[in-house]
Amino acid sequence: MNTRIVSDPATGAAPGIEPAEFRDRRARLLASLTDNDVAIVSGASIRYRNRDTEYPFRQDSDFYYLTGFEEPDSVLVLAPGAEPGAAVLFCPERDPAREQWTGERLGPERAPQALGVDAAFAHSELDKILPRILDGRWCVHTVLGEYPKFDQRLIESASTARARGANVGGCEFRPLQRLLHEQRLFKSPAEQGLMAAAADITARAHIDAMRHCLPNLSETQLEAVLVHAFMQGGARAAAYPSIVAGGRNACVMHYVRNDSLLRDGDLVLIDAGCELQHYASDVTRTFPVNGVYTPRQRELYEVVLAGQAAALEAAVPGAHCTAPQDAADRVLTEGLIDLGLLAGGIDEALATGTYQRFTVHRCSHWLGIDVHDVGEYRRDGKWRALEPGMVLTIEPGLYIPDGPDFDDVDEAWRGMGIRIEDDVLIEESGNRVLTESVPKAVQDIEALMQGAHR
Ligand code: GLY
Ligand code: MN
Ligand code: MN
């Protein structure tokens, strides 16, 4: 098979997850199943963008987490004590004629050795073999709803098993999320290394974008700087559609058109992160197109920056996962009152939520193989505590759109959107900001941009 380039050309480091770690992840999941259980995880299939042109293939996150295997149309079955073995993979068959078009396939013959699964079969055998594995299994743990056609095949396999007299009892379907996503929430040292590497590539991309930014450049051209840096760093793709939003476009939360001109005197908000070997980074910076904040932009920016600092300070082990949000809300609300954008006192504003028209979104989410990563925020009806190994974003923002709903706000503030977002690993001793190297203090951003080409 081809050797894939996964190293960071800048450092020579080649972070990655070893096959043994994928085996260990499966073993941990298997250990939480009884002999009457089976866990079934479908990989992703190719999707079409238009006619016969495919979207770039991205493996299903749960499937990738458990296998490290990137081929489409594959299925992992984990069944303690099953006849072919506890970890069984179904994957595409070798087919030289087809491989001339698609590239080399691993094939079921080589999968046990390459991936450490106990047995592997052609995907075309799934409907024959799965009913046999389901014999004697009362409970199927799976993620329903993601791939409806696959869900249907599972249900049919269960009813085939029953029709053959298999001892499946009521064959109950349960969400796999509870078991698997709790596991994914805690990042191993190798995952932490990979996420730090993704964060470094993304940090360089944001710094490059600040250096290249000039009035009358288009948002598309600034996005090209990000894409270039991601790929130069060894990442194949962005973890989510990059947001490059000049001026009032920053008030649209998921602005991805990125096709306007960047105007002298405006801010530009960039929310972009690369995906490195399936792990996401997610960073936002908001800076002046011409390299110098206006006094008003600076005033609002400093409020968001102070809110983010408070949230970062609150993101420590033992704190509720809402502690960063609460800390940011207080500081942002105080700032809004000080700037005359909110009436009343702080306690009243916090209690009634009047500040939320300016904050719009929550200030944090888990980060991992998915940008909005899996894992429960509440357990047994309570917000859970932050623990070492969790990775989350801290991303407060303030948005003052230029629309009719905001015509009570002084015009001078309208059309501004500011967000500052970093990726944070919770450690025993506090936290580590993985994306710290992207400047965010006003003077640091201005110095960087002015040093670049002005
Ligand atoms: N880029 C998506 C987010 O910040 O949540
Ligand atoms: Mn983001
Ligand atoms: Mn985010």
Per-10-residue mean pLDDT of the chain, 454 residues long, equals 44 73 98 96 98 97 98 97 96 97 97 97 97 91 95 92 78 92 97 98 98 98 98 97 98 97 98 98 98 98 98 98 98 98 96 97 98 96 97 98 95 97 98 98 98 74
**For atom 2 of ligand 1, which residue has the closest CA?**
282
Distance of alpha carbon 145 from alpha carbon 335, whole angstroms: 43
| CATH number where 266 lies | 3.90.230.10
Distance of alpha carbon 32 from alpha carbon 10, whole angstroms: 41
Whether residue 5 is contained in a domain is answered as: no
SS3 of 275, please? strand
Q: Which of 270, 282, 363, 424 to mutate to test the pocket of ligand 1 (most atoms within 8 A of CB)?
A: 282
**Which of 179, 198, 218 is the C-terminal boundary of a domain?**
179
**For atom 4 of ligand 1, which residue has the closest CA?**
282
**Which of 179, 211, 234 is the C-terminal boundary of a domain?**
179
Q: Which of 362, 395, 419 to mutate to test the pocket of ligand 1 (most atoms within 8 A of CB)?
A: 395
- Pocket flag, ligand 1, residue 240 (CB < 6 Å): yes
| 140 and 234 together in one domain | no
**Which residues pair with residue 238 across a beta bridge?**
274
Identity of the amino acid at 206? H
Whether residue 313 is contained in a domain is answered as: yes
CB 157 within 8 A of CB 171: no
| 384 and 420 together in one domain | yes
> Minimum-distance ligand to the CA of 424?
3
CB 257 within 8 A of CB 242: no
User: Residue 80 has what pLDDT?
Assistant: 96
Distance of alpha carbon 439 from alpha carbon 441, whole angstroms: 6
Q: Give the model confidence (pLDDT) of 280-306 as tens digits.
A: 999 999 999 999 999 999 999 999 999
Q: Give the model confidence (pLDDT) of 264-280 as tens digits.
A: 999 999 999 999 999 99
Closest CA to 220 of 200, 249, 187, 251: 249
Whether residue 9 is contained in a domain is answered as: no
**Which of 179, 198, 221 is the C-terminal boundary of a domain?**
179
| 237 and 311 together in one domain | yes
Domain count, the chain: 2
Alpha-carbon 175 to chain mean position: 21
User: Residue 5 has what pLDDT?
Assistant: 42
| 150 and 231 together in one domain | no
| 169 and 218 together in one domain | no
Distance of alpha carbon 198 from alpha carbon 438, whole angstroms: 13
Identity of the amino acid at 1? M
- Expressed in angstroms and rounded, the spacing between residue 295 Cα and the centre of ligand 1 is 27
User: Residue 184 has what pLDDT?
Assistant: 98
Q: Which residues surround ligand 2, an ion (CB under 5 A)?
A: 271, 282, 421
> Which atom of ligand 1 lies closest to the CA of 284?
4
Length of the chain: 454
Whether residue 10 is contained in a domain is answered as: no
CB 363 within 8 A of CB 395: yes
> Structural domain of residue 278, as residue ranges?
186-453
Q: Which of 371, 392, 420 to mutate to test the pocket of ligand 1 (most atoms within 8 A of CB)?
A: 371
| 170 and 255 together in one domain | no
Closest CA to 417 of 435, 398, 436, 404: 398
CB 90 within 8 A of CB 111: no
- Pocket flag, ligand 1, residue 395 (CB < 6 Å): yes
User: Residue 454 has what pLDDT?
Assistant: 57
What is the pTM (predicted TM-score) of this model? 0.95
User: Residue 162 has what pLDDT?
Assistant: 85
SS3 of 315, please? coil
Q: Which of 421, 422, 424 to mutate to test the pocket of ligand 1 (most atoms within 8 A of CB)?
A: 421
Query: In Å, how far are 112, 295, 366, 422 from 120, measured between CA atoms?
Result: 6, 64, 33, 41
User: Residue 171 has what pLDDT?
Assistant: 78
- Expressed in angstroms and rounded, the spacing between residue 240 Cα and the centre of ligand 2 is 9
Whether residue 1 is contained in a domain is answered as: no
- Expressed in angstroms and rounded, the spacing between residue 282 Cα and the centre of ligand 3 is 5
| 202 and 109 together in one domain | no
User: Residue 453 has what pLDDT?
Assistant: 65
Closest CA to 328 of 352, 297, 377, 364: 364
Whether residue 228 is contained in a domain is answered as: yes
- Expressed in angstroms and rounded, the spacing between residue 363 Cα and the centre of ligand 3 is 8
Query: Which residues are known to be catalytic?
Result: 52, 254, 271, 282, 361, 365, 372, 395, 399, 419, 421
Largest CA distance in the chain: 78
Distance of alpha carbon 285 from alpha carbon 419, whole angstroms: 6
Distance of alpha carbon 140 from alpha carbon 131, whole angstroms: 12
In the numeric block, which tokens belong to residue 130? Answer: 């799965």
| 103 and 193 together in one domain | no
Distance of alpha carbon 138 from alpha carbon 68, whole angstroms: 28
| 298 and 392 together in one domain | yes
Whether residue 358 is contained in a domain is answered as: yes
- Expressed in angstroms and rounded, the spacing between residue 392 Cα and the centre of ligand 1 is 11
- Kindly report the number of other CB atoms within 10 A of residue 83's CB atom: 11
- Pocket flag, ligand 1, residue 271 (CB < 6 Å): yes
CB 358 within 8 A of CB 399: yes
| CATH number where 57 lies | 3.40.350.10
Whether residue 165 is contained in a domain is answered as: yes
Alpha-carbon 87 to chain mean position: 27
CB 400 within 8 A of CB 341: yes
Q: CA-based angle 140:146:151, to the nearest 5? A: 45
- Expressed in angstroms and rounded, the spacing between residue 271 Cα and the centre of ligand 1 is 7
User: Residue 141 has what pLDDT?
Assistant: 96
| 191 and 299 together in one domain | yes
Sequence-ordered strand ranges (E) for 226-381: 237-238, 243-246, 267-272, 274-276, 279-280, 283-288, 378-379
Helices (H), 353-416: 356-359
> Which atom of ligand 1 lies closest to the CA of 271?
1
Strands 416-419 and 397-400: antiparallel
CB 19 within 8 A of CB 68: yes
Q: Give the model confidence (pLDDT) of 106-128 as tens digits.
A: 999 999 999 999 999 999 999 99
- Pocket flag, ligand 1, residue 186 (CB < 6 Å): no
> Which atom of ligand 1 lies closest to the CA of 372?
5
Distance of alpha carbon 13 from alpha carbon 253, whole angstroms: 35
| 159 and 193 together in one domain | no
- Integer-rounded Cα radius of gyration of the chain: 25
Closest CA to 147 of 48, 217, 47: 47
- Pocket flag, ligand 1, residue 191 (CB < 6 Å): no
| 171 and 190 together in one domain | no
